[in-house]
Amino acid sequence: GGIHSYDSVLIDVKKFTNAGATIVDIGGQSTRPGSHIIPLEEEISRVIPAIKYLLKTYPDILISIDTFRSEVAEQAVKAGASLVNDISGG
């Protein structure tokens, strides 16, 4: 949580994959209790470039998109995400 640069994403994903992870969960909206809801466009602008950047370096990694918005999930899958993690159950 709280990763804000592509370089830090790659560093963490390298750690995760070296530890045996095969799925990386990416989210652009905090689901922490009390957190504020960001606009749809902001969430999309956070996650879609990150997914594309990550897949350039790790083309075989499975990406899970952590979102409660169907629009974000749809665009993330088009960008290469394999799974949808919707904590709202929607």
Average pLDDT over residues 35-64: 93
Which token pair is 57? 């370096």
Question: What is the pLDDT confidence band of residue 3, given thresholds at 50, 70 and 90?
Answer: low
Whether the pTM exceeds 0.95: the reply is: no
pLDDT at 31 over 90: no
Matching CATH number, 22-29+39-90, of 3.40.50.720, 1.10.10.60, 3.40.50.300, 3.50.50.60: 3.40.50.720
What average pLDDT is seen over the chain? 90
Per the document, the length of the chain is: 90
- How would you write the chain as a 3-class SS string? CCCCCHHHHHHHHHHHHHCCCCEEEEECCCCCCCCCCCCHHHHHHHHHHHHHHHHHHCCCCEEEEECCCHHHHHHHHHHCCCEEECCCCC
Average pLDDT over residues 60-69: 95
Q: Where are the domains of the chain?
A: 22-29+39-90
**Taking a C-beta distance cutoff of 8 angstroms, is the pair 55, 24 a contact?**
no
pLDDT at position 2 = 56
